[in-house]
């Protein structure tokens, strides 16, 4: 069973954007998709040690700010070189105007 941790308020993230969320020594990226849903992934790119929070959300893709590698943040799938390794994803739920990330 995941432990649900409050990451942010729903209106902390603009639609089609992301923010950084740090918890317990780890770092995550929380996304607000254009369809209104929220998603969460590991915060750092799998190519090099760069946080995705300064990247660009385009539809359901996050583009890394360093070398423009892309992931589908819903599944973590690596979509554009130089990223070859998928990104870890985490379950998310929205309750009472807050976004919770499920960590195990």
Partner 1 sequence: MTAAPFPVGQRDYSLVGPDSRRAVEIGLASAEWYHSDVPRAVMKDLMKRTDGPAIRDTILWFALLIGGAWGGIYFWGTWACVPFLFVYSVIYGSSCDSRWHECGHGTAFRTPWMNDVIYQIASFMVMRNPVTWRWSHARHHTDTYIVGRDAEIAWMRPPKTLTNFLALFDVIGATRSLLILARNATGRLTPDEKDFVPESEWGKMILAARIHMAIYAATIAVALATWSWLPLMLIGLPRIYGSWHMVMCGHLQHAGLAENVLDHRLNTRTVYMNPISRYIYWNMNYHIEHHMFPMVPYHALPRLHEVIKADLPPPNLSILDGYREVFASLRRQKTDPEYYLRKTLPPSAKPYREEFHTLNIARSGT
Q: Is 102 in the site for partner 1 (CB under 8 A)?
A: no
Q: Looking at residues 17 to 76 of the shown chain, list those that interact with partner 1 (rule: CB under 8 A).
A: 17, 47-49, 54-56, 58, 63, 65-68, 70
Rounded CA-CA distance 50/59 in Å is 21
User: Is residue 6 within 8 Å of residue 30, measured between CB atoms?
Assistant: no
Cβ distance to partner 1 smaller for residue 83 or 100: 83
Q: Is 82 in the site for partner 1 (CB under 8 A)?
A: yes
Q: Residue 76 has what DSSP assignment? A: -
Number of Cβ atoms within 10 Å of the Cβ of 4: 15
Name the minimum Å distance from CB 103 to partner 1: 26
């Amino acid at each position: 069973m995941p432990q649900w941790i409050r990451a942010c308020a729903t209106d902390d993230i603009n639609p089609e954007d992301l923010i950084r969320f740090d918890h317990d020594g780890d770092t995550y990226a929380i996304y607000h998709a254009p369809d209104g849903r929220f998603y969460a992934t590991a915060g750092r790119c799998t190519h090099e040690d760069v946080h995705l929070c300064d990247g660009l959300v385009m539809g359901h893709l996050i583009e890394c700010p360093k070398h423009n590698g892309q992931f589908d943040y819903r599944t973590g799938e690596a979509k554009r070189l130089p990223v070859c390794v998928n990104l870890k994803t985490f379950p998310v739920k929205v309750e009472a105007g807050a976004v919770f990330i499920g960590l195990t």
